[in-house]
């Protein structure tokens, strides 16, 4: 069976994220989690697991920190 391609991906700025966990709760495919380590401000920041993103943008919508999360949709290749 061919591997299913991700529809998007997420980047998280660890210096902007305050570890509130709203994005983790909102993530439908459950590909976000809070890190075990702390950033320089002492927060367990959100992390993307690296695969499985649907590109829906819910995590971006619920994040209270401007610039902490960016969601990218993958463009389909022309057939």
Contact 45, 39 (CB under 8 A): yes
Radius of gyration of the chain (CA): 13
Contact 51, 66 (CB under 8 A): no
So what's the pLDDT on residue 1? 45
pLDDT in tens, 9-53: 999 999 999 999 999 999 999 999 999 999 999 999 999 998 999
Domain locations in the chain as residue ranges: 8-73
Q: What is the pTM of this model?
A: 0.83
23 versus 6: the higher-pLDDT residue is 23
Identify the CATH class of 8-73.
Answer: alpha beta
75: helix, coil or strand?
Answer: coil
Average pLDDT of span 40-68? 94
């Amino acid at each position: 069976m061919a591997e299913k391609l991700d529809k998007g991906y997420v980047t998280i700025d660890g210096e902007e994220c305050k570890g509130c966990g709203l994005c983790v709760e909102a993530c439908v495919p459950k590909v976000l989690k809070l890190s075990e380590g702390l950033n320089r401000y002492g927060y367990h920041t959100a992390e993307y697991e690296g695969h499985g993103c649907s590109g829906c943008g819910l995590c971006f919508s619920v994040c209270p920190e401007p610039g902490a999360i960016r969601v990218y949709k993958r463009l389909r290749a022309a057939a």
